[in-house]
Structure 1
């Protein structure tokens, strides 16, 4: 009999680029379905992270001023109960500042 139980894992990232990379790793490396992954600002404010990266940077002008750098980004996912350890490890390798979940 297989165990179909799930748990939720949360990882906090400083940049949108890291959060996007986390989503791709969850899908491609760990087989998590996209509808089971959620990305949001950690606080109530809209933000692209607490540090500029990727498309938020201009090579000639530095950080864009039209993108709110107002806080961290949370990636959460509903995962199989036997996956937390490997996913926590992956999130840490990507640059998560904090990872929680069973």
Structure 2
């Protein structure tokens, strides 16, 4: 008998760059529709992460100052429970500070 229960995975990232990469992995590696993945500030305020990264930093070293750096970024997605370990491991490999599943 297969377990077809659903669980929610939440991964917390310090900056936008690894969070964006995690979304791409969920879509491309795990086949999760992009519309089923939620990205939001981990806290109450709007944020682009705790430090500039990715598109906020140019190759010449210029750092955008208009993006709010007020905390971590949370990615959440509902998945089949039997995929939990693989997705948690993948999020950790991509730099998630915390990964939970329930």
What's the TM-score once normalised by structure 1's chain length? 0.91
- Post-superposition Cα deviations, 1:22-72, rounded to whole Å, max 9, x if no partner, equal 011011111112222100000111111001101111344542111111100
Q: How does 1:21-100 map to 2 (within 5 A)?
A: 21-60=21-60, 62-100=62-100
Tell me the distance in 2 between the aligned counterparts of 1:97 and 1:2: 31
Tell me the distance in 2 between the aligned counterparts of 1:94 and 1:38: 17
Q: CA RMSD in A?
A: 1.5
Q: Residue 11 of structure 2 corresponds to which residue in structure 1?
A: 11
Deviation at 1:3, TM superposition (A): 4.0
Tell me the distance in 1 between the aligned counterparts of 2:87 and 2:30: 7
What are the ranges of 5 or more consecutive residues in structure 1 without an aligned counterpart? none
